[in-house]
Amino acid sequence: MSSPVLDGRQRRHLRALAHHQKPVVQVGHEGVTPGVVAALDQALLTHELVKVRVLGDDSDLEQLGAELAQATRSALAQSIGKILLFYRPHPKKPRIVLPRGEAGEEEP
């Protein structure tokens, strides 16, 4: 399974869905550890859309987000403050329906 690629419309849709969600996974001062990757991977399998809170220094937030996205084969949908938003559809039964790219119609 490869990482999903999101366009602007899909990112906006995911941000709207995640607006009221609380962070499920926290990245501590050690950064990306195997435990953090495993926790995010399991949360993505359960929820498809997961907020991650980053504790400590946020100077390399974009790099940390890219590293987590690559390790979990997910897409980084948003990075704001110390919160990262990741999306990965369920491999068998996806629950989140993304709008299509150019046409703007929702997938069946």
Mean of the pLDDT values across residues 52-65? 86
Q: What is the mean pLDDT of the chain?
A: 89
β-bridge partners, 49: 87
Average pLDDT over residues 85-106: 80
Q: What is the pLDDT of residue 78?
A: 94
Q: What does the domain layout of the chain look like in residue ranges?
A: 8-87
Kindly tell me if the per-residue pLDDT of 69 is higher than 90.
yes
Structure-token pair, residue 7: 């366009």
E strand segments, 12-96: 25-27, 49-54, 75-80, 83-87
CATH architecture observed for domain 8-87: 2-Layer Sandwich (3.30)
Q: Per-residue pLDDT averaged across 66-72, rounded?
A: 95
Number of Cα atoms under 13 Å in the Cβ half of residue 91:
8
